[in-house]
Amino acid sequence: MIHFGLPAYFGPGAGFAFLGSLLSLISAALAGIVSVLIWPFRMAWLLLVRPKRGRVERVVFLGFEGMDAAGTEALMAQGKLPNLARLREQGSYRRLRTTFPALCPVAWSTFATGVNPAKHGVFDTAPVKEKRGCESFWKILGRYGIRSTILWVPGASQPEHFNGRELKSESVSYPRFYARYLTRLLGSLDRETVFFSALENTRYGVLVCVFDAADIDRITAETLARIDAATAVFVLSDHGSCPAGRCVNLNAWLLREGYLALDATGGIDWTRTRAYAVGSSGVYLNRRLVKLADSAALSKELAQSLAGLIAIQSACLASDLYHGPHLNAAPDIVIGYAAGYGSSPDAIAGKVSPEIFEDCSRSSGGSLGVLFSNLKIAAENPGIEDMAATALNLFGVKTPPWMEGRSVVAVP
């Protein structure tokens, strides 16, 4: 091979790449310098705004999905939940009101924000919004320099940006690297392991973890064994639940009653359908067909007819239940199923089944969850909307005027 000794050619792309890398390095260096320079001012600001009269150093919320009040009380009476019974005796216990409908993402969104669904925008089991329409209490606390760790709280599909950390799944967390960091640190994202690691590392601030299936009594006991007198603990559920042996397809009922029509392929004919069901508890009017002037009368007619079904405990107009900027996104009629009944999988997907009723094996939400605490609960009839204000007030932060809940504990 003959080598001519010609100089190597560097095109403009290589120059741009080098320049881009150089600028990135310079930007990173400047960002680091700025962070160091402003750190004393940031700390001074946090010390200035941090509340002076917080009652506690830590607040821990242990959430358990679908933990029914009546069932829990029966198990305590039988001696099967000794640690929860001890917490009730040494601290306090109340039945906890939940949202209507009593659905997991709806209730936990109200827990986080202290407002009704028309304010936070989550109405069903599959929220359509990436983020809630209202701030969580942990975002508010973060502005006062009070950090939070939020683990597996249902509701919005994406976490907020706030002064803290949130884990939703193996692939969704804030900051983005948090899930990967936990996996490398702990070897897995096992809920108990992650929770107790976070409890050990939370010296000041809030820790929330929601368990979907766990040994409630044991986890409660281990949590109480690892806290001190400056920590407030709340064991709660989003709502009660009971087995639903029968599923209901409201679209099949709407078809039978003439409110819904099918086309030649068996799908919904939207040119002749006035109302349809989709999701776990909602009936909607077809706004393309139903005029606004006729919607109120049709909604009332439907609600009265639906309330007569054996499977339905209540059928309420959303406008009677909620108030807020997201009311237009709510179902026109919100369904509360009677004990032993729930929405069928086809109805949840917006499909029409051949039969209105069918056997099924799933659970349905009830109205009352549980609330235990190592503090004395002053409220006689607490609701899940009160938890946000409780967390704020325990750290000496005032409840914002838009928040509907109030603290359940007496704060001096």
Residue range 13-36, pLDDT digits in tens: 444 444 445 554 565 456 457 545
Looking at the structure, tell me whether residues 92 and 197 fall in a common domain.
Answer: yes
Residue 20 lies in a domain: no
Of 153-157, 241-245, 391-395, which gets the smallest average pLDDT? 241-245
Q: How high is the mean pLDDT of the chain?
A: 88
CATH number of the domain bearing residue 257? 3.30.1360
The pLDDT assigned to 407 comes to 97
Are both 140 and 286 inside the same structural domain?
no
| Band of pLDDT at residue 5, cut at 50, 70 and 90 | very low
pLDDT > 60? residue 392 = yes
Encoding tokens for residue 186? 């702990």
pLDDT at residue 367, rounded to an integer: 74
283-286, long-range: CB < 8 A, 24+ apart: 283/250, 283/254, 283/315, 283/331, 283/332, 283/333, 283/335, 284/331, 284/332, 285/332
pLDDT band at 75 (very low <50, low <70, confident <90, very high): very high
Residue 200 lies in a domain: yes
| Cis preceding linkage at 175, omega within 30 | yes
Q: State the pLDDT at residue 340.
A: 86
CA proximity to 345, closest of 252, 237, 242, 265: 252
| 64 within 8 A of 211, measured Cβ to Cβ | yes
Three-class DSSP category at 18: helix
Q: What is the mean pLDDT of residues 100-125?
A: 93
Structural domain boundaries, residue 172:
58-240+366-394
| pTM of the full structure | 0.85
Look-up of token digits 């829990």: 72
- Judge if 64 and 158 occupy the same domain: yes
Residues 78 and 223 both lie in one domain: yes
3-state DSSP call for residue 383? strand
Note whether residue 311 is domain-resident: yes
178 within a domain of the structure (yes/no)? yes
The two tokens of residue 308 are 């007569």
Angle subtended at Cα 128 by Cα 123 and Cα 132, rounded to the nearest 5 degrees: 70
Q: For residue 131, with 0-12 CB atoms within 10 Å meaning exposed, 13-18 middle and 19 or more buried, which class applies? A: middle
Is the model's pLDDT at 210 over the cut of 80?
yes
124 in Cβ contact with 110 (< 8 Å): no
Is 70 in a helix, a strand, or coil? Answer: helix
- Domain holding 118: CATH number? 3.40.720.10
Q: Examine the domain organization and report whether 73 and 153 are in the same domain.
A: yes
- Do 84 and 233 share a domain, yes or no? yes
Return the higher-pLDDT residue of 363 and 220: 220
pLDDT for residue 8 = 36
pLDDT at 128 over 70: no
Q: Is 405 within a domain?
A: no
Residue 62's φ and ψ, nearest 5 degrees, are: -100, 105
318 forms beta bridges with: none
Provide the domain count of the chain.
2
Residue 66 lies in a domain: yes
Say whether pLDDT at 375 is over 60: yes
pLDDT at 7 over 50: no
Q: What is the DSSP string of 30-49?
A: HHHHHHHHHHHHHHHHHHHH
How much of the chain, in percent, has pLDDT values that exceed 70? 84
Report phi then psi at 405, rounded to 5. Answer: -80, 165
Among 6-10, 77-81, 327-331, the range with the most confident prediction by mean pLDDT is 77-81
Pair 249, 122 in one domain: no
pLDDT band, residue 126 (cuts 50/70/90): low
Q: What is the pLDDT of residue 11?
A: 46
- Same domain assignment for residues 318 and 372: no
| pLDDT of 218 | 97
Let me know whether 338 and 382 are in one domain. no
Residue 251 lies in a domain: yes
Greatest extent of the chain over all pairs of C-alpha atoms, in Å? 95
Tokens encoding 142: 């973060």
